[in-house]
Protein backbone atom coordinates (compact mmCIF):
# COMPACT_ATOMS: atom_id res chain seq x y z
CA UNK A 1 0.00 0.00 0.00
CA UNK A 2 1.40 3.39 -0.96
CA UNK A 3 0.08 6.89 -0.46
CA UNK A 4 1.06 9.96 -2.48
CA UNK A 5 3.07 12.63 -0.74
CA UNK A 6 0.95 15.40 0.78
CA UNK A 7 3.04 18.44 1.47
CA UNK A 8 0.92 21.53 1.98
CA UNK A 9 -2.05 22.20 4.24
CA UNK A 10 -5.25 23.11 2.48
CA UNK A 11 -8.75 23.64 3.76
CA UNK A 12 -11.31 20.86 3.46
CA UNK A 13 -13.81 23.28 1.97
CA UNK A 14 -11.36 24.37 -0.70
CA UNK A 15 -10.93 20.80 -1.88
CA UNK A 16 -14.60 20.00 -1.51
CA UNK A 17 -13.54 16.89 0.34
CA UNK A 18 -16.25 14.75 1.86
CA UNK A 19 -14.13 11.63 1.98
CA UNK A 20 -11.07 11.17 4.20
CA UNK A 21 -9.31 14.28 5.48
CA UNK A 22 -6.11 14.24 7.49
CA UNK A 23 -5.53 17.99 7.66
CA UNK A 24 -3.34 17.92 4.58
CA UNK A 25 -5.01 15.90 1.85
CA UNK A 26 -8.33 14.70 0.55
CA UNK A 27 -8.12 11.00 -0.21
CA UNK A 28 -10.87 9.74 -2.47
CA UNK A 29 -11.69 6.51 -4.24
CA UNK A 30 -9.67 7.28 -7.36
CA UNK A 31 -7.03 9.79 -6.33
CA UNK A 32 -5.47 11.78 -3.57
CA UNK A 33 -5.59 15.54 -4.03
CA UNK A 34 -2.65 17.55 -2.71
CA UNK A 35 -1.59 21.06 -3.71
CA UNK A 36 -4.60 21.09 -6.01
CA UNK A 37 -3.15 18.26 -8.08
CA UNK A 38 -4.32 14.67 -8.34
CA UNK A 39 -1.90 11.80 -8.19
CA UNK A 40 -2.70 8.14 -8.31
CA UNK A 41 -2.16 5.93 -5.27
CA UNK A 42 -1.52 2.19 -5.43
CA UNK A 43 -3.94 1.41 -2.63
CA UNK A 44 -6.61 2.97 -4.83
CA UNK A 45 -5.56 0.98 -7.88
CA UNK A 46 -6.01 -2.48 -6.41
CA UNK A 47 -4.14 -5.29 -8.13
CA UNK A 48 -5.46 -8.72 -7.11
CA UNK A 49 -2.43 -10.96 -6.63
CA UNK A 50 -2.48 -14.73 -6.46
CA UNK A 51 -0.94 -16.85 -5.15
CA UNK A 52 -0.38 -15.12 -1.83
CA UNK A 53 2.88 -14.81 0.07
CA UNK A 54 2.17 -17.85 2.25
CA UNK A 55 2.26 -20.05 -0.86
CA UNK A 56 5.99 -19.28 -1.13
CA UNK A 57 6.84 -20.47 2.39
CA UNK A 58 9.53 -22.82 1.08
CA UNK A 59 11.02 -20.23 -1.29
CA UNK A 60 10.93 -16.81 0.45
CA UNK A 61 12.99 -15.03 -2.20
CA UNK A 62 10.54 -16.09 -4.88
CA UNK A 63 7.74 -14.91 -2.61
CA UNK A 64 9.26 -11.44 -2.40
CA UNK A 65 9.78 -11.38 -6.16
CA UNK A 66 6.09 -12.14 -6.65
CA UNK A 67 5.43 -8.61 -5.36
CA UNK A 68 7.61 -6.97 -8.00
CA UNK A 69 4.79 -6.41 -10.55
CA UNK A 70 2.86 -4.40 -7.96
CA UNK A 71 5.97 -2.46 -7.04
CA UNK A 72 6.64 -1.66 -10.69
CA UNK A 73 3.05 -0.49 -11.10
CA UNK A 74 3.51 1.82 -8.12
CA UNK A 75 6.69 3.23 -9.63
CA UNK A 76 4.78 3.86 -12.84
CA UNK A 77 1.67 5.57 -11.46
CA UNK A 78 3.25 7.70 -8.72
CA UNK A 79 5.28 10.66 -10.01
CA UNK A 80 9.02 10.11 -9.68
CA UNK A 81 9.50 13.29 -7.64
CA UNK A 82 7.14 11.85 -5.00
CA UNK A 83 8.76 8.43 -4.62
CA UNK A 84 11.01 9.37 -1.71
CA UNK A 85 8.12 10.89 0.24
CA UNK A 86 5.56 8.18 -0.49
CA UNK A 87 5.30 5.66 2.38
CA UNK A 88 5.27 1.99 1.46
CA UNK A 89 3.66 -0.64 3.69
CA UNK A 90 2.94 -4.35 3.54
CA UNK A 91 0.60 -6.13 5.91
CA UNK A 92 0.36 -9.92 5.95
CA UNK A 93 -2.65 -11.72 7.39
CA UNK A 94 -3.69 -15.16 8.63
CA UNK A 95 -1.92 -17.07 5.87
CA UNK A 96 1.44 -16.04 7.33
CA UNK A 97 0.24 -16.16 10.94
CA UNK A 98 -0.34 -19.89 10.52
CA UNK A 99 3.02 -20.79 8.97
CA UNK A 100 5.22 -23.02 11.16
CA UNK A 101 8.69 -22.25 12.46
CA UNK A 102 10.61 -19.39 10.86
CA UNK A 103 8.86 -19.54 7.49
CA UNK A 104 6.96 -16.28 7.99
CA UNK A 105 10.06 -14.54 9.39
CA UNK A 106 12.11 -15.57 6.36
CA UNK A 107 9.42 -14.40 3.95
CA UNK A 108 9.14 -10.98 5.57
CA UNK A 109 12.93 -10.61 5.64
CA UNK A 110 13.07 -11.03 1.86
CA UNK A 111 10.15 -8.64 1.39
CA UNK A 112 11.91 -5.97 3.47
CA UNK A 113 14.99 -6.32 1.28
CA UNK A 114 12.92 -5.84 -1.87
CA UNK A 115 10.88 -2.89 -0.62
CA UNK A 116 13.88 -1.25 1.04
CA UNK A 117 15.54 -0.87 -2.36
CA UNK A 118 12.42 0.50 -4.05
CA UNK A 119 13.15 4.21 -3.65
CA UNK A 120 9.92 4.81 -1.74
CA UNK A 121 9.79 6.02 1.85
CA UNK A 122 10.23 2.81 3.81
CA UNK A 123 10.92 1.53 7.30
CA UNK A 124 11.52 -2.17 8.02
CA UNK A 125 8.77 -2.27 10.66
CA UNK A 126 6.25 -1.29 7.99
CA UNK A 127 6.44 -4.88 6.74
CA UNK A 128 4.69 -6.96 9.35
CA UNK A 129 1.99 -9.46 10.12
CA UNK A 130 -1.13 -7.62 11.20
CA UNK A 131 -3.25 -9.32 13.80
CA UNK A 132 -6.79 -10.39 13.11
CA UNK A 133 -8.25 -7.56 15.15
CA UNK A 134 -6.50 -4.99 12.95
CA UNK A 135 -7.70 -6.81 9.86
CA UNK A 136 -11.29 -6.78 11.11
CA UNK A 137 -11.25 -3.13 12.10
CA UNK A 138 -9.71 -2.12 8.74
CA UNK A 139 -12.43 -4.09 6.96
CA UNK A 140 -15.12 -2.29 8.98
CA UNK A 141 -13.58 1.09 8.12
CA UNK A 142 -13.35 0.19 4.42
CA UNK A 143 -16.96 -0.95 4.18
CA UNK A 144 -18.45 1.99 6.03
CA UNK A 145 -16.21 4.49 4.25
CA UNK A 146 -17.27 3.25 0.83
CA UNK A 147 -20.93 3.30 1.88
CA UNK A 148 -20.62 6.87 3.14
CA UNK A 149 -21.48 5.78 6.69
CA UNK A 150 -18.42 7.17 8.47
CA UNK A 151 -19.23 10.30 10.45
CA UNK A 152 -22.82 9.18 10.92
CA UNK A 153 -24.74 7.70 13.85
CA UNK A 154 -24.11 4.16 15.05
CA UNK A 155 -27.42 2.93 13.62
CA UNK A 156 -26.38 4.14 10.15
CA UNK A 157 -23.25 1.99 10.10
CA UNK A 158 -23.07 -1.65 9.08
CA UNK A 159 -21.37 -4.61 10.70
CA UNK A 160 -19.04 -6.90 8.79
CA UNK A 161 -18.19 -10.58 8.72
CA UNK A 162 -15.10 -11.24 6.61
CA UNK A 163 -14.32 -14.88 5.86
CA UNK A 164 -10.74 -15.31 4.74
CA UNK A 165 -8.70 -18.45 4.23
CA UNK A 166 -7.10 -18.70 7.67
CA UNK A 167 -9.43 -16.65 9.86
CA UNK A 168 -12.83 -15.00 10.04
CA UNK A 169 -13.39 -11.52 11.45
CA UNK A 170 -16.52 -9.93 12.85
CA UNK A 171 -16.67 -6.19 13.56
CA UNK A 172 -19.41 -3.69 14.30
CA UNK A 173 -20.03 -0.50 16.26
CA UNK A 174 -21.50 -0.96 19.74
CA UNK A 175 -23.20 1.30 22.27
CA UNK A 176 -21.42 3.25 25.01
CA UNK A 177 -22.98 0.92 27.58
CA UNK A 178 -21.70 -2.23 25.88
CA UNK A 179 -18.29 -0.62 25.47
CA UNK A 180 -18.06 0.20 29.18
CA UNK A 181 -19.24 -3.27 30.19
CA UNK A 182 -17.06 -5.15 27.71
CA UNK A 183 -14.97 -8.00 29.19
CA UNK A 184 -11.44 -6.94 29.99
CA UNK A 185 -8.67 -8.55 28.00
CA UNK A 186 -6.59 -11.02 29.96
CA UNK A 187 -2.84 -11.38 29.87
CA UNK A 188 -1.55 -11.85 26.30
CA UNK A 189 -5.09 -11.31 24.96
CA UNK A 190 -6.13 -8.71 22.41
CA UNK A 191 -8.89 -6.36 23.57
CA UNK A 192 -12.18 -6.99 21.76
CA UNK A 193 -13.23 -3.33 21.87
CA UNK A 194 -11.52 -0.12 20.82
CA UNK A 195 -12.48 3.47 20.22
CA UNK A 196 -11.84 4.94 16.79
CA UNK A 197 -12.34 8.53 15.67
CA UNK A 198 -13.18 9.07 12.03
CA UNK A 199 -14.67 12.16 10.40
CA UNK A 200 -15.28 13.81 13.78
CA UNK A 201 -17.25 10.84 15.09
CA UNK A 202 -16.02 8.47 17.80
CA UNK A 203 -17.12 4.86 17.44
CA UNK A 204 -16.93 2.06 19.96
CA UNK A 205 -15.81 -0.80 17.76
CA UNK A 206 -16.17 -4.46 18.66
CA UNK A 207 -13.80 -6.71 16.73
CA UNK A 208 -12.95 -10.36 17.10
CA UNK A 209 -10.81 -12.52 14.86
CA UNK A 210 -11.21 -16.29 14.92
CA UNK A 211 -7.93 -17.85 13.87
CA UNK A 212 -8.23 -21.32 12.28
CA UNK A 213 -11.85 -20.59 11.33
CA UNK A 214 -11.16 -19.25 7.87
CA UNK A 215 -12.61 -21.35 5.07
CA UNK A 216 -9.39 -23.10 4.07
CA UNK A 217 -8.25 -23.63 7.65
CA UNK A 218 -11.63 -25.04 8.65
CA UNK A 219 -11.43 -27.64 5.89
CA UNK A 220 -8.23 -28.86 7.52
CA UNK A 221 -9.96 -29.01 10.92
CA UNK A 222 -12.73 -31.16 9.45
CA UNK A 223 -10.24 -33.59 7.95
CA UNK A 224 -8.31 -33.74 11.24
CA UNK A 225 -11.49 -34.72 13.06
CA UNK A 226 -12.22 -37.34 10.39
CA UNK A 227 -8.86 -39.12 10.66
CA UNK A 228 -9.33 -42.83 11.23
CA UNK A 229 -12.90 -42.70 9.99
CA UNK A 230 -14.90 -41.49 7.01
CA UNK A 231 -15.78 -37.86 6.32
CA UNK A 232 -19.47 -37.02 5.72
CA UNK A 233 -18.58 -33.72 4.05
CA UNK A 234 -16.89 -34.94 0.87
CA UNK A 235 -18.69 -36.33 -2.14
CA UNK A 236 -18.65 -39.85 -3.46
CA UNK A 237 -15.79 -40.36 -5.95
CA UNK A 238 -13.55 -37.96 -3.98
CA UNK A 239 -9.90 -38.97 -4.19
CA UNK A 240 -6.69 -37.49 -2.93
CA UNK A 241 -5.72 -35.34 0.01
CA UNK A 242 -6.05 -31.79 1.22
CA UNK A 243 -2.95 -29.67 1.78
CA UNK A 244 -3.06 -26.69 4.12
CA UNK A 245 -0.23 -24.77 5.84
CA UNK A 246 2.26 -27.39 4.70
CA UNK A 247 0.32 -30.30 6.22
CA UNK A 248 -1.34 -33.02 4.16
CA UNK A 249 -4.73 -34.27 5.35
CA UNK A 250 -6.21 -37.50 4.07
CA UNK A 251 -9.96 -37.91 3.66
CA UNK A 252 -11.73 -41.25 3.56
CA UNK A 253 -15.02 -41.13 1.68
CA UNK A 254 -18.15 -42.91 2.83
CA UNK A 255 -19.68 -45.39 0.40
CA UNK A 256 -22.82 -43.27 0.15
CA UNK A 257 -20.83 -40.04 -0.20
CA UNK A 258 -21.55 -36.75 1.53
CA UNK A 259 -24.57 -36.26 3.75
CA UNK A 260 -25.89 -32.84 4.75
CA UNK A 261 -27.12 -33.62 8.28
CA UNK A 262 -24.04 -35.65 9.23
CA UNK A 263 -21.73 -32.99 7.83
CA UNK A 264 -23.68 -30.33 9.69
CA UNK A 265 -23.31 -32.22 12.98
CA UNK A 266 -19.54 -32.49 12.48
CA UNK A 267 -19.22 -28.79 11.65
CA UNK A 268 -21.23 -27.78 14.73
CA UNK A 269 -19.00 -29.98 16.89
CA UNK A 270 -15.80 -28.45 15.55
CA UNK A 271 -17.21 -24.93 15.84
CA UNK A 272 -17.43 -25.52 19.58
CA UNK A 273 -20.77 -23.75 20.00
CA UNK A 274 -21.46 -25.49 23.32
CA UNK A 275 -18.34 -24.09 24.97
CA UNK A 276 -18.98 -22.55 28.38
CA UNK A 277 -19.92 -18.86 28.07
CA UNK A 278 -18.79 -16.55 30.88
CA UNK A 279 -20.58 -13.57 29.36
CA UNK A 280 -24.20 -12.61 28.79
CA UNK A 281 -24.02 -13.95 25.25
CA UNK A 282 -21.32 -15.66 23.20
CA UNK A 283 -20.73 -16.62 19.60
CA UNK A 284 -18.72 -19.87 19.74
CA UNK A 285 -15.72 -21.05 21.67
CA UNK A 286 -16.85 -18.97 24.66
CA UNK A 287 -16.18 -15.67 22.85
CA UNK A 288 -18.24 -12.61 23.86
CA UNK A 289 -20.45 -11.53 20.97
CA UNK A 290 -20.17 -7.77 21.51
CA UNK A 291 -23.70 -7.31 22.81
CA UNK A 292 -25.45 -6.88 19.46
CA UNK A 293 -27.48 -3.70 18.97
CA UNK A 294 -27.98 -1.21 16.16
CA UNK A 295 -24.50 -1.64 14.66
CA UNK A 296 -25.20 -5.33 14.06
CA UNK A 297 -28.61 -4.98 12.40
CA UNK A 298 -27.21 -4.47 8.91
CA UNK A 299 -24.51 -6.96 7.97
CA UNK A 300 -22.11 -7.01 5.05
CA UNK A 301 -20.42 -10.39 4.62
CA UNK A 302 -17.38 -10.58 2.40
CA UNK A 303 -14.58 -12.57 0.79
CA UNK A 304 -15.29 -16.32 0.60
CA UNK A 305 -18.97 -15.79 1.37
CA UNK A 306 -19.35 -13.93 -1.91
CA UNK A 307 -17.15 -16.31 -3.88
CA UNK A 308 -18.95 -19.46 -2.73
CA UNK A 309 -22.34 -17.88 -3.35
CA UNK A 310 -21.26 -17.41 -6.96
CA UNK A 311 -19.94 -20.99 -7.18
CA UNK A 312 -23.18 -22.42 -5.79
CA UNK A 313 -25.48 -20.33 -7.96
CA UNK A 314 -26.86 -18.33 -5.03
CA UNK A 315 -25.58 -15.33 -6.96
CA UNK A 316 -26.46 -16.04 -10.58
CA UNK A 317 -24.97 -12.96 -12.17
CA UNK A 318 -21.22 -13.20 -11.72
CA UNK A 319 -20.74 -9.57 -12.71
CA UNK A 320 -22.66 -8.06 -9.78
CA UNK A 321 -20.68 -6.31 -7.06
CA UNK A 322 -23.02 -7.31 -4.23
CA UNK A 323 -26.20 -9.25 -3.55
CA UNK A 324 -28.76 -9.33 -0.75
CA UNK A 325 -29.54 -12.88 0.40
CA UNK A 326 -30.64 -14.81 3.48
CA UNK A 327 -28.36 -17.39 5.19
CA UNK A 328 -31.04 -19.99 4.50
CA UNK A 329 -30.00 -19.83 0.85
CA UNK A 330 -26.60 -21.27 1.83
CA UNK A 331 -28.37 -24.12 3.60
CA UNK A 332 -30.55 -24.81 0.58
CA UNK A 333 -27.49 -24.91 -1.68
CA UNK A 334 -25.61 -27.10 0.81
CA UNK A 335 -28.40 -29.68 0.86
CA UNK A 336 -28.33 -29.79 -2.92
CA UNK A 337 -24.58 -30.24 -3.32
CA UNK A 338 -24.23 -32.66 -0.40
CA UNK A 339 -26.71 -34.98 -2.11
CA UNK A 340 -24.57 -35.28 -5.25
CA UNK A 341 -21.54 -37.36 -6.17
CA UNK A 342 -18.56 -35.65 -7.77
CA UNK A 343 -19.57 -37.12 -11.12
CA UNK A 344 -23.04 -35.62 -10.76
CA UNK A 345 -21.60 -32.24 -9.78
CA UNK A 346 -19.38 -32.29 -12.87
CA UNK A 347 -22.36 -33.15 -15.04
CA UNK A 348 -24.69 -30.52 -13.59
CA UNK A 349 -22.11 -27.79 -12.94
CA UNK A 350 -19.46 -28.26 -15.66
CA UNK A 351 -17.97 -24.78 -15.19
CA UNK A 352 -17.19 -25.37 -11.52
CA UNK A 353 -13.44 -25.99 -11.18
CA UNK A 354 -12.18 -29.24 -9.66
CA UNK A 355 -10.72 -27.70 -6.50
CA UNK A 356 -14.03 -25.96 -5.83
CA UNK A 357 -16.41 -28.84 -6.50
CA UNK A 358 -14.42 -31.21 -4.27
CA UNK A 359 -15.18 -29.14 -1.17
CA UNK A 360 -18.37 -27.27 -2.03
CA UNK A 361 -20.62 -29.38 0.21
CA UNK A 362 -18.36 -28.75 3.20
CA UNK A 363 -17.83 -25.08 2.39
CA UNK A 364 -21.54 -24.29 2.13
CA UNK A 365 -22.43 -26.22 5.28
CA UNK A 366 -19.73 -24.36 7.19
CA UNK A 367 -20.79 -20.95 5.92
CA UNK A 368 -24.41 -21.54 6.89
CA UNK A 369 -23.54 -22.87 10.36
CA UNK A 370 -21.02 -20.08 10.94
CA UNK A 371 -23.60 -17.37 10.24
CA UNK A 372 -26.60 -18.93 11.97
CA UNK A 373 -25.26 -21.12 14.77
CA UNK A 374 -21.95 -19.34 15.30
CA UNK A 375 -22.89 -15.68 14.97
CA UNK A 376 -26.57 -16.03 15.85
CA UNK A 377 -27.99 -14.55 12.65
CA UNK A 378 -31.57 -15.50 11.87
CA UNK A 379 -31.68 -17.86 8.85
CA UNK A 380 -34.15 -15.54 7.13
CA UNK A 381 -32.45 -12.23 7.97
CA UNK A 382 -31.20 -10.47 4.86
CA UNK A 383 -27.46 -9.86 4.68
CA UNK A 384 -25.42 -8.24 1.93
CA UNK A 385 -22.83 -10.40 0.20
CA UNK A 386 -20.26 -7.93 -0.98
CA UNK A 387 -17.22 -7.94 -3.24
CA UNK A 388 -17.26 -4.33 -4.36
CA UNK A 389 -19.19 -1.27 -3.23
CA UNK A 390 -20.41 1.49 -5.52
CA UNK A 391 -18.71 4.67 -4.36
CA UNK A 392 -18.98 7.94 -6.26
CA UNK A 393 -19.70 6.21 -9.53
CA UNK A 394 -17.01 3.53 -9.26
CA UNK A 395 -17.11 -0.01 -7.94
CA UNK A 396 -14.37 -0.30 -5.31
CA UNK A 397 -13.04 -3.53 -3.80
CA UNK A 398 -14.39 -3.94 -0.27
CA UNK A 399 -11.17 -5.23 1.29
CA UNK A 400 -9.17 -4.30 4.38
CA UNK A 401 -6.13 -2.58 2.74
CA UNK A 402 -8.20 0.52 1.99
CA UNK A 403 -9.11 0.75 5.67
CA UNK A 404 -5.43 0.50 6.52
CA UNK A 405 -4.70 3.36 4.12
CA UNK A 406 -7.44 5.45 5.70
CA UNK A 407 -5.85 4.77 9.08
CA UNK A 408 -2.57 6.12 7.78
CA UNK A 409 -3.98 9.39 6.46
CA UNK A 410 -6.71 10.14 8.98
CA UNK A 411 -5.00 9.49 12.30
CA UNK A 412 -7.24 6.50 13.00
CA UNK A 413 -5.80 4.47 15.85
Where in the sequence numbering do the catalytic residues fall? 135
Is 166 known as a binding-site position? Answer: yes
- In a 13 Å sphere around the CA of 118, the CA atoms on its Cβ side amount to 34
Is 169 known as a binding-site position? Answer: yes
What is the DSSP code (8-state) at residue 372? I
Sign of the C-alpha dihedral computed for residues 131, 137, 141 and 147 taken in this order: positive
Return d(Cα 250, Cα 129) in angstroms, integer: 30
Helices in 173-254 by DSSP H: which ranges?
Answer: 176-180, 215-225
Q: CB neighbours of 398 closer than 8 A, spacing ≥ 6?
A: 139, 142, 143, 146, 300, 302, 386, 387, 388, 389
Q: How many other CB atoms are found less than 10 A from the CB of residue 101?
A: 9
Q: Phi, psi (5° rounding) for residue 31? A: -160, 170
Return d(Cα 238, Cα 255) in angstroms, integer: 11
Q: How many other CB atoms are found less than 10 A from the CB of residue 85?
A: 14
Provide the 3-class DSSP secondary structure of residue 45: coil
Provide the 3-class DSSP secondary structure of residue 270: helix
Q: CB neighbours of 16 closer than 8 A, spacing ≥ 6?
A: 26
Return d(Cα 51, Cα 95) in angstroms, integer: 11
Is 413 known as a binding-site position? Answer: no
Rg (CA), the chain: 22
Which residues are annotated binding-site positions for ATP? 165-169
Amino acid sequence: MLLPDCASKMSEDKLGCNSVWNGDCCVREGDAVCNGKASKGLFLNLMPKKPGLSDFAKDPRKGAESLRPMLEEALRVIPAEQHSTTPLRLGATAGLRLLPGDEAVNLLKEVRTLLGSSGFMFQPEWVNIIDGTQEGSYQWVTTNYLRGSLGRRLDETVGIVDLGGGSVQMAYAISDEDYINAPKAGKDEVASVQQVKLLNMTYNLYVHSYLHYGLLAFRAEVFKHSEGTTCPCVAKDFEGSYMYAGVKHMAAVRDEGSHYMDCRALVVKILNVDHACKHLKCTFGGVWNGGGGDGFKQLFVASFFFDKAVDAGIIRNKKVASAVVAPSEFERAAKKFCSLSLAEIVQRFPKLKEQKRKYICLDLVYQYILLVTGFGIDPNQKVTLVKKILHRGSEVEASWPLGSAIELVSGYQ
